Amino acid sequence: MYANGDPALVGIWTDTPPGTDANLPMPMWVSHFGQIKEQHAELKKRLDQLGRTMPRTWGEYAARSDLRKNIYESAVRFMSDLDRHIEWAETHLFPVAEHYTGGRMGPVNVLKQHVVLAKRFYREYLEKERDGAEEAITCLLQALTIVSDILRLEEEAVFPVMEKMKPDERQD
């Protein structure tokens, strides 16, 4: 039986073990959920490290080209990895979680809006950094603050739903 009888959620089970629901394959998010949670934890750790390297003032940032370069390279790598994480989650996790957390008015939609904002501030950071503008670091800090909210929302709104949706792995 499909979760809530909804054929749009093919492969999502309620109380049916994997492989017995008309022999459908296990949905991709189930087999990769542990991996996505590990990736999520690693991204949080890297975000914290990146945040600790941020200068307190524009003058400190502008005066140290080595710091500026290090932050730029770290931010680019981090945001690239985050983008892959979010892309996978948007494809495989968010649609299921959104269905069970209030649809278009729920927390998954807020999460999606945060993703758009974080990407916008990150693009502004890249443009301003290229131009040497003072506002560059402010844009990056704003992007990273929003990313922190994205990761928190995943933990609070998406992961609990997905945990409940996973097929029971116990062997009785």
Q: What are phi and psi of 19, to 5 degrees?
A: 85, -10
Task: Tell me what percent of the chain is helix, strand and coil, each rounded to the nearest 5.
Answer: 75, 0, 25
Residue 172 falls inside a structural domain: no
Q: pLDDT for 16-41, tens place per residue?
A: 333 334 343 455 656 667 788 888 99
pTM of this structure: 0.76
Mean pLDDT over 164-168 rounds to 68
Residue 14 falls inside a structural domain: no
Q: Which of 80, 54, 47, 84 lies closest to 68, judged by CA? A: 54
Residue 51 falls inside a structural domain: yes
Residue 9 falls inside a structural domain: no
What does the pLDDT read at residue 141?
A: 93
State the residue range of the domain holding 134: 32-165
**Cβ(137)–Cβ(58) below 8 Å:** yes
Instruction: Give me the number of domains the chain comprises.
Output: 1
Residue 115 falls inside a structural domain: yes
Residue 39 falls inside a structural domain: yes
Percent of the chain's residues with pLDDT above 90: 38
Grade residue 133 by pLDDT with cuts at 50, 70 and 90: confident
Give yes or no for residue 93 having a pLDDT over 90.
no
Residue 110 falls inside a structural domain: yes
**Cβ(117)–Cβ(146) below 8 Å:** yes
Residue 45 falls inside a structural domain: yes
Distance of CA 61 to the CA centre of its chain: 28
